Structure 1
Amino acid sequence: MKDKKLGLGSAISVCVGLIVATSCLLSLGLGMGLAGRGFILAMFIVVILNILLAFSFSELHGMMPDVEGGLGPVPSIVSNLSAYVITNMLAGSVELAMCGIVLQETFLPQVPAVVISLLILFLLAFVNYLGVNIFARIQNLVVVLLIGSLVLLGIISAFKLGTGTVIEAASQSQPAVTGMYGIASLTALAFWLFIGIEFVIPISKDLKNPKRDVPLAMILGVLLLFVVQALMGIGMTNYVSLEDLMSSDMPHIVFAKNLLGTPGTYWMGVVTILAGVSTINTVLGSVTRILSGMAEAEMMPCFFQKKNAKGTPIAGLVMMVGVIAIVLITGFANSSGLTNILLAASCFWLASYILVNITVLVLRKRYPDAKGRNKKLTLLGIPQFICIIGDIYMIWNIAEGDARIFIYKIFFALLVVMAAFAMIWVKVIKRAKPFERVSIDKVNNVKLERESSYSESLQSI
């Protein structure tokens, strides 16, 4: 019996599920504290870049569904591992740690925060072990409740309907960051609010209409989140001073308390649970499939492609859960310098997006008539060049002063590790050329052979 295919709603849930995280609420609070409502303009700039990026991902997925092979195996391995695996190991650990802290302080003061975090992790690992259908059902429910809560909080606060004291515009403090240049410099911070739209791609095989739903889910997802987070941002400035937003470790909790008192704190605690579940559920469901796809393309050891009866890649799931659990148990996710490590991870993600856009341009030149190419949106590569320039600008403005130097050190150190692994894997283990470009026909033929073999094995069950 064939599994039921997923619709556009599930695809949007996956996009939104990773993006809406507690760390996003922190970034939103910090951004609004720094620039006031001017931060919404920085958010809008990032939304435009992400929409253009969605076209690149859609075209690349249409031409080479399984891998980013336009620049050769080494860049593809570095791009995928650094942006999707390492980044989400760190971000997922932080998300669960913050979720545990908020739940302990709000609901379970007698239970250690790390125990709460680990329980949520293992529960979601079991959900993902049961397969993509269970994953999607949980994800759809969580995202509906999460977005619904954020919309209500946004409307209540933006239209000044809360029980707390409203801070009128004349009484609100002046933002520390002003002017177009200052606002543009905050796009690196706003970038984290919309990061990860491409996580719908690993489940494209499970979608009813992937050609339509993959790009549409990305675009609708970021637009939906922009509206919701803009409302939340406006609401934050109505009930919290910019200084408090900028200086608080938990600005979203301060906001909820100022908005509705103790009930608001409890409500934001529930939102934190939903955000944590949504993010980790998406990370475990998507990253394991990215690793499986890389293994199938011979960019990772073959054991990563082995799946259970429900179609879940087990090795990737075990690795992700194991690393996140270790980070939580050691307390590394609670260290004061982790924010800089996450910003370094953002550099990797931005660098990966640059490679995606370059790959699209390279494949267009090499295969002008390739199936899957979006000729209507080619426009001489203008969308891709805009994305590349924007991503470079955000990497340069990732932080200031000594913090930026520290972030760059982490970024380049991890980049060297990733590049070394990729070179050893390709040149020593696989005995292949590190930068040899794989033809589209070869990649897609291998993909068809695997799918045919998989279908035959299903029919024989």
Structure 2
Amino acid sequence: MTASTSVPAAAQHDNAGFRRVLGLGSLLAVAVGLVVSQGVMVMMLQGVGAAGLGFIVPLALAYLLALSYAFSFSELALLVPRAGSLSSYTEVALGHFPAILATFSGYVVVAMFALSAELLLLDLIVGKVYPGVFPQYSVAFGVLALFTVLNLMGIDIFAKLQSAMAVVMVIVLLILGLAAISEGHAEGVTTTLLQGDWNPMGAGVLALTAMAVWGFVGAEFVCSLVEETRKPERNIPRSMTIGLTVIFATIGLYGLGALFLVPREALSSDALPHYLFATTVFGKTGEVFLVIAAVTATCSTLNTSLAAIPRMLYGMACNGQAFPQFKLLSPRARTPWVAVLFVAAITGLPVLLMGQDAAAINLLLLSAALAWLLAYIIVHLDVIALRRRYPHLPRPFRTPFYPLPQLFGIGGMLYAIWNASPSPEMNLKIFGTAGVVLAVVSLIAVAWIKGVMKKPLFRPEPL
């Protein structure tokens, strides 16, 4: 009886909801395009400047932590294949309060931090290369408006744009890194690097793990597109693991190239080290090269976020965890248009409030990373909880060597949170900013669950 009624229900959902049009290539572009942002370009160079070749240690650790969350998200996305992503998994594993807290603090609020920082960085770079040409904030808000409209037009346009931008961005970063390595090797820098102190920070280099993790967060955005994915049982896990590996190789070559030509002290202290790197390698031409990298990186990150986060809100609204207006789909394009406009609005607000302050940008990025890490801890707990509650349930994807990746991921994320910044003063600001956000989200979540949903905070829903 259950099997006979589930098929027409699923068919009806496909007809009334989203369309399955995304393949492996599109998902891979999402995984890579969301992660490799301008913020990543800046923070990875600052990490390389602080630790030299020793930065490979926290970078490799961050890559393994990223694979652990990719395994957990893959298992959950195929067990609970809903657009709500983390909120849908957590409501059946831990209850509604952790579901709302994880999704809003780890994704919706992060959009306010990270996407705003991306737009501010783009405005800074364009203003530095073309001074006086564009009015302040015109580039940031122009890009935000453009991609908001494009995402309202449908997932097909999103997929085509995302694939093109991700390819261009990775190629630009690889060219930059390889050109610097080639030029530095010709000048005899290789011997100097290998014979010098490869890890000046010693064991303290592990404190840069949180910074390195920022280079790998966001690949799981493919999971919120599961209802629009062809063959999700194959394409969801592959897109994340392949994407994270491509990112690891790209960041490694990019950072190594910077060490060949730019002094470490300059990389760690400059507010725009990617500008310094590009102009050192290619001179004045490097400015144009960097503008291409900056535009594609920011637009790719923004494009993915405006596609994925509204679908998380759509899923939450379907579960009763958010305003029902977020469930509204446009008749022709089948996009959650209210949710898209909401994410665009909360992205643009901090741009006006923070201004073009490089220190504020760094604080936004690190605070976003901390909130994101908390969401990853919750997703690992979701896997453990559902394995215990439903041990015999068929799973299209099962985490290899369970529960070791989950335990490693939880421990590593907690360590990264504790060492969010090498500077104690910055740590205080990061914890303060993230703490205020988590407190506000918690109060709203409690009020919504008790006042609107009329449900217990921590009672899991039936799967």
TM-score by structure 2 length?
Answer: 0.90
Letter matched to residue 55 of structure 1: F
- What CA deviation, in whole Å up to 9, does each residue of 1:411-434 have, x standing for no partner? 222111111111111111111111
2:42 to 19, 26, 43: 26
Q: Would the aligned equivalents of 1:17 and 1:139 in 2 still touch at CA under 8 Å?
A: yes
1:277 to 299, 305, 308: 299
2:405 to 357, 370, 383: 383
Looking at structure 2, the residues matched to 382 and 210 of structure 1 have their Cα atoms a distance apart, in angstroms, of 24
Q: Would the aligned equivalents of 2:96 and 2:457 in 1 still touch at CA under 8 Å?
A: yes
Q: How does 1:9-408 map to 2 (within 5 A)?
A: 9-66=25-82, 67-68=88-89, 69=91, 70-107=93-130, 109-160=132-183, 167=189, 169-170=191-192, 177-179=200-202, 181-308=203-330, 309-332=332-355, 334=357, 336-372=359-395, 374-375=397-398, 377=400, 379-399=401-421, 400-408=423-431
Identity %: 29
Looking at structure 2, the residues matched to 275 and 374 of structure 1 have their Cα atoms a distance apart, in angstroms, of 31
Looking at structure 1, the residues matched to 64 and 220 of structure 2 have their Cα atoms a distance apart, in angstroms, of 15
Q: Would the aligned equivalents of 1:162 and 1:260 in 2 still touch at CA under 8 Å?
A: no
Q: Would the aligned equivalents of 1:426 and 1:433 in 2 still touch at CA under 8 Å?
A: yes
SS in 2 for 1:299: coil
Looking at structure 2, the residues matched to 170 and 152 of structure 1 have their Cα atoms a distance apart, in angstroms, of 23
Q: Would the aligned equivalents of 1:5 and 1:208 in 2 still touch at CA under 8 Å?
A: yes
Structure 2 unaligned spans of 5+: 1-14, 83-87
Letter matched to residue 216 of structure 2: F
Q: 408-417 or 47-56: which moved more?
A: 408-417
Q: Which residue of 1 aligns with 2:457?
A: 434
Looking at structure 2, the residues matched to 376 and 246 of structure 1 have their Cα atoms a distance apart, in angstroms, of 37
Q: Would the aligned equivalents of 2:120 and 2:361 in 1 still touch at CA under 8 Å?
A: no
- What CA deviation, in whole Å up to 9, does each residue of 1:298-343 have, x standing for no partner? 1101101101121111111111212222222334463633422432
Looking at structure 2, the residues matched to 299 and 334 of structure 1 have their Cα atoms a distance apart, in angstroms, of 35
Residues 1:197 and 1:375: Cα distance change in structure 2 (over 3 Å): closer
Looking at structure 2, the residues matched to 171 and 368 of structure 1 have their Cα atoms a distance apart, in angstroms, of 51
Q: Would the aligned equivalents of 2:53 and 2:199 in 1 still touch at CA under 8 Å?
A: no
Deviation at 1:158, TM superposition (A): 2.1
Residues 1:125 and 1:162: Cα distance change in structure 2 (over 3 Å): farther
Q: 388-397 or 327-336: which moved more?
A: 327-336
Looking at structure 2, the residues matched to 289 and 385 of structure 1 have their Cα atoms a distance apart, in angstroms, of 29
Deviation at 1:3, TM superposition (A): 5.3
Letter matched to residue 441 of structure 2: M
Looking at structure 2, the residues matched to 222 and 8 of structure 1 have their Cα atoms a distance apart, in angstroms, of 14
Looking at structure 2, the residues matched to 76 and 3 of structure 1 have their Cα atoms a distance apart, in angstroms, of 26
Looking at structure 2, the residues matched to 171 and 216 of structure 1 have their Cα atoms a distance apart, in angstroms, of 36
Letter matched to residue 190 of structure 1: A
Deviation at 1:384, TM superposition (A): 0.4
- What CA deviation, in whole Å up to 9, does each residue of 1:369-404 have, x standing for no partner? 113264562x35111000000000000110232221
Q: 71-80 or 52-61: which moved more?
A: 52-61
Looking at structure 2, the residues matched to 271 and 40 of structure 1 have their Cα atoms a distance apart, in angstroms, of 23
Q: 105-114 or 420-429: which moved more?
A: 105-114
SS in 2 for 1:307: coil
Q: Number of residues paired by the alignment? A: 437
Q: Which residue of 1 aligns with 2:447?
A: 424
Deviation at 1:48, TM superposition (A): 1.0
- What CA deviation, in whole Å up to 9, does each residue of 1:30-85 have, x standing for no partner? 01100111112211111111112111111111222230220000000000000111
- What CA deviation, in whole Å up to 9, does each residue of 1:129-156 have, x standing for no partner? 1110000101011111111111211221
Q: Would the aligned equivalents of 2:354 and 2:360 in 1 still touch at CA under 8 Å?
A: no
Q: 205-214 or 119-128: which moved more?
A: 205-214
Deviation at 1:193, TM superposition (A): 0.7
Looking at structure 2, the residues matched to 223 and 176 of structure 1 have their Cα atoms a distance apart, in angstroms, of 23
SS in 2 for 1:337: helix
| Runs of 4+ residues deviating >4 angstroms | 1-4, 165-169, 171-177, 373-376
Looking at structure 2, the residues matched to 412 and 93 of structure 1 have their Cα atoms a distance apart, in angstroms, of 19
Q: 340-349 or 47-56: which moved more?
A: 340-349
Deviation at 1:175, TM superposition (A): 7.2
Q: Would the aligned equivalents of 2:271 and 2:358 in 1 still touch at CA under 8 Å?
A: no
Deviation at 1:346, TM superposition (A): 1.4
Residues 1:4 and 1:412: Cα distance change in structure 2 (over 3 Å): closer
Q: Would the aligned equivalents of 2:275 and 2:287 in 1 still touch at CA under 8 Å?
A: yes
Deviation at 1:345, TM superposition (A): 2.1
Letter matched to residue 123 of structure 1: L
Deviation at 1:176, TM superposition (A): 8.0
